[in-house]
Amino acid sequence: MALRIPRALYDQLRQHGEVTYPHECCGVLVGEFDEAGGKVVKAAVQCGNTRTDSPQNRYHIAPSELVRIQREALLAGQDIVGFYHSHPDHPAQWSSTDLDEAHWTGCSYVITSVEKGHAVLTNSFLLLGEEDEKRLEDELYELSAE
């Protein structure tokens, strides 16, 4: 399975989108890469959205937060395996902006549609390819008990 995420963290990242609605929420998925190229999520770290100029349709995670999260993850023997954000009243499908701003090849980009304040659909996409020919592909995910 490409991405395994505990049910509790899945619920948590979806609820984050409900709390921030009508603005986009964002966060980092921390976990482990397995030998087969799959990912197991161990934590979903909520982050602030620095796009206070347009939070209803844009998100940006401060690099300073990413630095801290990456450092703490590596100290714990873990890694950044992906990111999540929400689409208020928009489909859980990556946009051209999402692709343009995606640079973490090999990581998952999880998107939740939040309609009128309620999380509806959550999809995961895997970023592949080098910067000038990158693409986001549908990624299967599995919910685990823990």
Partner 1 sequence: MPIKVLIPTPLRPYAGKQSVIEVSAQTVGEALSDLAAQHPDLRKHLFSEEGKLRSFVNVYLNDENIRYLSENATPVKETDILSIIPSVAGGV
Selected range binding partner 1 among 1-9, 11-19, 101-109, 137-145, rule: CB under 8 A:
101-109
Q: Report yes or no: 27 and 41 within 8 Å, Cβ to Cβ.
A: no
Q: What is the DSSP string of 8-21?
A: HHHHHHHHHHHHHT
Q: Is 109 in the site for partner 1 (CB under 8 A)?
A: yes
Closest C-alpha to 82, from 21, 123, 121: 123
The residues, any chain, with a CB within 8 Å of residue 115's CB and separated by 6 or more, are 89
- State yes or no: residue 80 binds partner 1 (CB under 8 A): yes
In angstroms, what is the minimal distance from the CB of 119 to partner 1? 15
Told to check if 4 binds partner 1 by CB under 8 A, we report no
Contact between 131 and partner 1 per CB under 8 A: yes
Candidates 24, 35, 65, 133; catalytic one: 24
Active site residues: 24
